[in-house]
Amino acid sequence: MRERLLLTPAFAAVTALAALSPLALGGCKAALGAGGGQDGVEDNGGSGVEAPDDGASDPDASGEAPTEAELRAEAERREQAAEVDAAARRIILEVAKARELPVKGDFSVELVDKQGVRDFVEAVMVEEMSHEELALMGRINASLGVIPVGSDFEQVLLDMYELGVLGIYDPKRKTLMIGDYIDRVQLGMVVGHEGAHGLQDMHFDLEALNHMHKGRSDLDSAQTFLIEGDAQAAYLAWVAGDEGLASIGEDLLELQANMVLQIREDMGIPHTILARQMQMPYTDGTANVVRIARDQGWDAVNELYAELPTSSEQMLHLDKLAKREQPRPITVDSVPLRALFPDHQPVWEDELGEVSLLAMLAEVATPGKAREAAAGWGGDRYVVLETKDQTRRAPAPLLAGVTAWDSVEDAKQFEALFRTYLQARKPDAFHLERKRDRVLYLTHFDAPAASLPEPERAKAVSKAAWSTFTVGSQPK
């Protein structure tokens, strides 16, 4: 599921970028402190922000007049809202200067509580996908070992966003939604990031970009890397002040990115593979946007919106972005698999991309080893088949996919580590093999294949799966 939510995440370890990192929970500048040059920036007052309204001050909401405690709480919320609005309008002017994008439109600021975050995320999710499609995405992720079989994927996502979101930018309403639960230290980070989204929207029309490409998940990942990486880089440029992005060393950028790959459940972060996927646009994406802006200027970043990246590989490797290296085309014809499993039908077709594979491989390897094994990615495609009888559908469907690699050695390196991953996450429920620079994998095929003769079962499944995919040459 690749909904593009323009948000500030919270669940990440504090890194060595403590004073700069938009992921560091306790290490961001105070909203009212210095950063990016505050002199001469007008405080525009506190008009226009909306606070969460629980009806406490409305005698008709409960049928009774509010108590003194409720009135005092309401006054405190209004005071908080006014402070956030004043800070947001000042900070956005400063971020605009650092990002070299002038403010050229209006925006509003809104405080939102945890339930409001959950409600907003749920509404956005079902705009792009039906509840049935979300349930299918959950079964696909279970088949890949990303979440446990039987998980309620929609609730998993909502729980993770509720846990991890500090702020959201809504391009439809031109509104910065700021968590009413964040403290003054976090406020600068959240407003700086979400305000940068507001600037992007004014110049590049985020609403037009804010839609899924079904069956092209890696394309969505690439664009998310750009949008979120740009917003974080703008925030960092503001915090860096006169020293600018040149003050951020390569070692710190790499450390931040690799710490996200080291996310583990014992950190209190559930569903670690999903968490890495959610976080990487804010780390790897940020690192490469910082490098582009630092070395080529912000105009080079702006140009990426005119010619958007098309794969996460491009956003992970600037040399491949510069060359606009395209994935190898892979087509799917499910006839061989349907012939082998006549009671099944294809229900979804998609791509993983380098970033999703990297998030999986990091489950069983160090960041360096995982990056090496994923770096030779040259394209991939998978197809999902389920029984025609919906009452007999398994919690995890039959999934067959193929990955193409830049060289045979790259394919060998990936095959070895992906086997380790599948053995850890899908023991006794996978098949993996390689032919030259291509790696084939299947998960949860045992039950559909149970009627096939045992001695020939694996051979028949392998032959049908290889015949399902046609891998083209590298586009020039």
Q: Residue 303: what pLDDT? A: 98
The predicted pLDDT at position 95 comes to: 97
Q: How many CA atoms lie within 13 A of 409 on its CB side?
A: 1
The confidence band for 397, taking pLDDT boundaries of 50, 70 and 90, is very high
The model's pTM is: 0.86
- Min mean pLDDT across 39-48, 247-256, 281-290, 305-314 is at 39-48
Dihedral over alpha carbons 438, 443, 447, 451 (to 10 degrees): 0
With beta carbons less than 8 A apart as the criterion, state whether 124 and 3 touch. Answer: yes
Are the beta carbons of 385 and 338 closer than 8 angstroms?
yes
Task: Give the number of C-alpha atoms closer than 13 A to the C-alpha of residue 324, restricted to the C-beta side.
Answer: 6
Pair 228, 282: CB distance under 8 Å: yes
Q: Does the pLDDT at position 392 exceed 90?
A: no
End-to-end CA distance of the chain: 30
Compute the average pLDDT of residues 23-41: 26
Predicted confidence band of residue 63 (pLDDT cuts 50, 70, 90): low
Which of 240, 236, 277, 243 lies closest to 260, judged by CA? 277
Identity of residue 461: V
Radius of gyration of the chain (CA): 24
Contact call for residues 166 and 66 (beta carbons, < 8 A):
no
Closest CA to 36 of 233, 244, 190, 199: 244
Beta-ladder partners of 344: 387
Give the pLDDT confidence score for residue 339 in this predicted structure.
Answer: 94
| Beta-strand pair 108-112/49-50 | parallel
pLDDT digits (tens, 9 = 90+) for 222-277: 999 999 999 999 999 999 999 999 999 999 999 999 999 999 988 888 899 999 99
Q: What is the pLDDT of residue 35?
A: 29
Least confident segment among 162-166, 372-376, 466-470: 162-166
* Mean pLDDT, range 37-64, rounded to an integer: 45
Mean pLDDT value across residues 126-153: 94
Whether 7 has a pLDDT exceeding 80, the answer reads no
CB-CB contact of 406 with 376 (8 Å): yes
- At residue 40, the pLDDT reads 30
DSSP code, position 242: G
Residue 59 confidence (pLDDT): 52
Is a pLDDT exceeding 70 seen at residue 62?
A: no
| pLDDT at position 382 | 98
| pLDDT score recorded for residue 46 | 37
Predicted confidence at residue 47, as pLDDT, reads: 37
Phi, psi of 194 (to 5 degrees): -70, -35
CB–CB of 59/218 below 8 Å?
no
| d(C-alpha 126, C-alpha 142), whole Å | 20
Q: What is the pLDDT of residues 296-337, one digit of tens each?
A: 999 999 999 999 999 999 999 999 999 999 999 999 999 999
Q: Rounded to whole angstroms, how far apart are CA atoms 135 and 139?
A: 6
- What count of Cα atoms within 13 Å lies in the side-chain half-sphere of residue 145? 24
Q: pLDDT by residue (tens digit) across 82-123? A: 888 888 999 999 999 999 999 999 999 999 999 999 999 999
Chain centroid to Cα 471, Å, comes to 27
pLDDT value of residue 244: 92
How high does pLDDT run on average in the chain?
Answer: 86
Residue 375 tokens, joined? 């770096």
Encoded amino acid at 188, one letter: G
Residue with tokens 């990942």: 221
Q: Cα separation of 95 and 84, whole Å?
A: 16
Check if the beta carbon of residue 225 is closer than 8 Å to that of residue 285.
yes
Structure letter (DSSP) for residue 246: G
Q: Which residue has the tokens 């039908």?
A: 345
pLDDT of residue 41: 31
Residue bearing the bigger pLDDT, 57 or 128: 128
Helix extents (H) in 5-152: 59-62, 68-99, 114-128, 131-143
φ and ψ of 286, to 5 deg: -60, -45
Could you identify the residue written with the tokens 């108590």? 67
| Token duo for residue 40 | 């001469």
Contacts of 145 (CB under 8 A, 6+ apart): 273, 360, 421, 422, 424, 425, 426, 443
